[in-house]
Amino acid sequence: MKLAVFGATGRMGLAIARLAHESGDIQLVGAICAGSDPNLGRDIGELAGVGTIGVVTGADVPSGLLGADVVIDFSTAKAVVPLLDAAKKQKVAVVSGTTNLGEVERAALTAAASKVAVVWAPNMSRGVQVLAEVVAHAVKRLGLDFDVEIVETHHRRKVDAPSGTALRLARAVHDARPGLSETYGRQGEVGARPDDEMAVVALRGGDVIGDHVVHLFGPGERLELIHRATNRDLFARGAIAAARQIVGRGPGLYELSDVL
């Protein structure tokens, strides 16, 4: 598999470059970063700690995709559209874990998926995918007697809230129990909790990689469904596994559950 990495000098990009190199059967052919990046023009292997591999970081997206079967993207929402446009034109499959996408970025995902295979997931963890499935099952089985709340915890440098993963879990709840309204915090005299409310609460501090807890509160009992990330490599491994599965597939917008 010939792989390009978009957002190559970030923590996730470097983890993907390292794991791809160590796999033995993935050829890294492109490493794309921002034009203002201080590591522009450096060998991605050296940055990832695996030694020189002959692939230098560059800011030109089309050049970085040359020869690639698939590109893995962990960048920012504002950087995604140029990548998707180039991947669509060059027929390069896309695996994207970039979160906080708006309407413009989602429209670009859909447009790219009309020409190439695109996987987008707010969390590339296989464990989180299973958690979402378990949450939907639990909410459906427990019924209206149980209140649902979601709490997510991340490191102090995370810039968006709630996390994309928390929103993914909220969608799993909605799939099983349509009609719930979301709130993102409570303050003052808010009154008794409505039956159709679900809070999604974000905590920030320290160096927490990512914890997500779905609380189901029932009469006389409580169920907590938890996922804790202890190493960022798990997200890189999930993205690489998705990339392996998406190469050769027809155009379409796929979820992680479709390829893992």
Asked if 150 and 143 touch (Cβ cutoff 8 Å), the reply is no
Alpha helices in the chain (DSSP H): 11-23, 44-48, 61-65, 77-90, 103-113, 126-142, 164-176, 233-246, 256-259
* Residue of 2, 115, 158, 174 with catalytic role: 158
Domain ranges of the chain: 2-120+233-259, 126-229
**Quick one: pLDDT at residue 95?**
98
Span 70-97, mean pLDDT? 96
pTM for this model (two decimals): 0.83
Residue 154 annotated among the catalytic residues of the structure: yes
Q: Which amino acid is at 17?
A: A
Among candidate residues 21, 154, 212, 215, the one labeled active-site is 154
- Tell me the CATH number for domain 126-229: 3.30.360.10
Q: What is the pLDDT of residue 259?
A: 85
* 163 pLDDT tier (thresholds 50, 70, 90): very high
CA-CA distance, 117 to 139, in Å (whole number)? 32
Check if 158 is active-site.
yes
Average pLDDT taken over every residue of the chain:
95
Distance between CA atoms of residues 154 and 75, nearest Å: 18
> Is 2-120+233-259 a CATH 3.40.50.720 domain?
yes
In this prediction, residues 26-48 reach a mean pLDDT of 96
